[in-house]
Structure 1
Amino acid sequence: MIEGYLRRLGLEGRPEATYETLVDLHHRHLDTLPYENLSIMLAAIGATRAPDAVDPVETLERVAAGGNAGYCFHNNGVFSLALAELGFDVVRRTGQMLEATGPSGTLDHLALEIRGLATAANPGGRWVVDVGYGDGFRDPLPLVEGHFRQSGFVYRLARVGESGWTFHHDPHGSFNGSFVRGSVTQEEVEASHLRLSTPPDGDFTRKLVVQRRDASGAETVRSIRHLRTGEGAFERELRDFEQWRTALGRLGLSFRGVEEDALRELHKRQAAEYDDWLLTR
């Protein structure tokens, strides 16, 4: 079932469920499949009928065929499915960004915990993995309180009550962090996806965001603004369509099945949205 996904990540055969495999898969997924909301934005401008579904099996099939994954629900959904099939003990948890997109307790992030992988540095064997933040951490984090440094960025995990945790992002990140608590069902994920991806109020229907975390930093195209944090930091505007399209492709975005006219219309609208944003800064 997951062979096509593994091949997309550059692997032949099924690796064993070890900590080393977990780290390798985390890196390969981040390198291959960016965080993005292209299908949501195309649906919002009427170029497609509906955004890509968040069913992990559908995401797996789409990725295996060379398409995009999506945003956090898609990326972490397919990652959890693949890890579970490889034999990892995966727990899907409810997450909410600290800059909440709804009332307290609203699900807007799918968080993942891996259990039973004890190492000398983490004898408890519990890990946080996340390939759905866009510009989050590169390596799995041990699920213990503390600060963690990775390639110039600093993250923090803190316990809240008996079962909750907060992830605090590096100050250079695109968000403050997230709060994680009990388990989540697929039905709850699908209901939240519908809320987040339906215009005009859906938070992911207003601005194209494509992000990828690599070994030394993170790169983002947000609307027509192209920026990088970490090593080689820069910021520029992509007002030329071809430059915009090329930058998206270099971030790993797939244009499989996407009409160029639809992309041009999206770029035009995003440029106008960006100019409106500049006027309100």
Structure 2
Amino acid sequence: MNKIGIHYGYFTENWGTDIIPLIKKVRALGFDILEVAPGPLLAKSKQERDMIAKAANDVGIELTFSVGLGKAYDLSSEDEKIRNNGIDFTLKTFDIMKEMGAKMYSGVNVGAWNNTPQDGIKDKSAELARSVASIKEIMKVAEKYGITYAVEVVNRYEQSLLNTAEEAMEYVKMVDSPNLKVLLDTYHMNIEEDSFEKAIKQVGNEYLGHFHVGESNRKPPSINGRMPWDEITTALKAIHYEGAIVMEPFIKMGGEVGRDIKVWRDISKNATTEEMDYMAKESVQMLRDKMK
């Protein structure tokens, strides 16, 4: 049975929040995984990170890491210093992942998040080549630490490098590392792919390392939502996908999370904490039922 997770940003306005209460909350709601961002954890002391890792271990929650690299860490940048900053940031993240027993590093991690070309482009091969060179350096350490590096396919408004499953497949083959995989996300697939089923089967079990889910407006997955969950889960089962399924719902305005995800209206319809928790609980149960 696939482990089901949720991104911690669903529960907070700011990235640098106290994770320990969220670990206990998601366990009570029926989740197996809490997905976290590396930046705030890098800013904590080793003692604080040890406490977080112990809290997760005590209740049986797996921590996975998801990043949206900032412009200062753009692994595809023309500026060698910026690329080196990105490599250094990633390797420091690997060190704390090793400390905390985490094995999955995913997200917008081949270049900068929310950073697209200012002018129209016809060729992005130079950007891709710089990104591939950076990732090849990073993968030496990922392989040593046993970390899976899943590159996320995101929509055209958030990045220009990898917008489709086909592009991601070409990318991982250029890097050629057994630890480099693809992360598909239903929110982004809904914008860019012709077919959920075809995209999932194109990546296949060999390359699909992580899977994000959410409705087209970033609500938690729901049996009453617009996404074709039967098609999506049937395709995952057809390729014998055994990895994690992690939801990334972002439905509240305000703070760093609302700003970065671009939530400009209260998608939750003024939901209380209890109502937010109920939506998440219903969602995880729906996914478990569909993946049986």
Same fold (TM over 0.5): no
Q: Which has the higher strand share?
A: 1
